Amino acid sequence: MTAVCRKDILYSLPLQGNSSPFQPNIFLIGYVSFMSEKSKINLAWIEGSFFASFNILSKIKDKYKDAECYSFGSDNSYADIYDILCTTSCFSPCKLIIISGMPDLTDGEKKKFKELLENLDPSNLVVFYMLSKTSEKYIYTTVEKIGKL
């Protein structure tokens, strides 16, 4: 997997591509100057040991402390997540959206969500935190596809 990262995150977060109990896997896709405007997508997939993953999430929150922060779990509806991803920020130029659980989605909703991730506003950072690669494979494959340059 090839990951391209924003410099402010790249120098503060260890990027790991292996499954170690002490180092989480994190794939960050960020702003790249030679990419088209449509390709500027910010996504992060964090998994691994709880404490290491929590530390990386804390570093991301510190970098985005001025951003509007939203957190979603499996008890939220798809409409809640979709509304936040599609609306513009009121109080900050960017949003930090942490998704730690996905609601049950229909096939149509999964397709719309994948399209939404592929065309996400570049000022947003979406973090998929501690989701299972196997149960949320449709999201993981999208993040992996966007990360390959």
Contacts of 3 (CB under 8 A, 6+ apart): 15, 27, 28, 29, 147
Of the listed ranges 9-18, 55-64, 130-139, the one predicted with least confidence: 9-18
Distance from C-alpha of 41 to C-alpha of 128, rounded to nearest angstrom: 14
Distance from C-alpha of 112 to C-alpha of 105, rounded to nearest angstrom: 10
pLDDT at residue 26, as a whole number: 54
- Name the more confident of 142 and 2: 142
- Name the more confident of 134 and 9: 134
Contacts of 78 (CB under 8 A, 6+ apart): 103, 105, 109, 113
pLDDT tens-digit readout, 93-143: 899 999 999 999 999 999 999 999 888 888 889 999 999 888 888 888 888
> Which letter does DSSP use for residue 89 in this model?
P
6, with CB counted inside 10 A (0-12, 13-18, 19+), is middle
Distance from C-alpha of 51 to C-alpha of 47, rounded to nearest angstrom: 10
Of the listed ranges 1-10, 19-28, 103-112, the one predicted with least confidence: 1-10
Handedness of CA 44, 126, 57, 103 (dihedral sign): negative
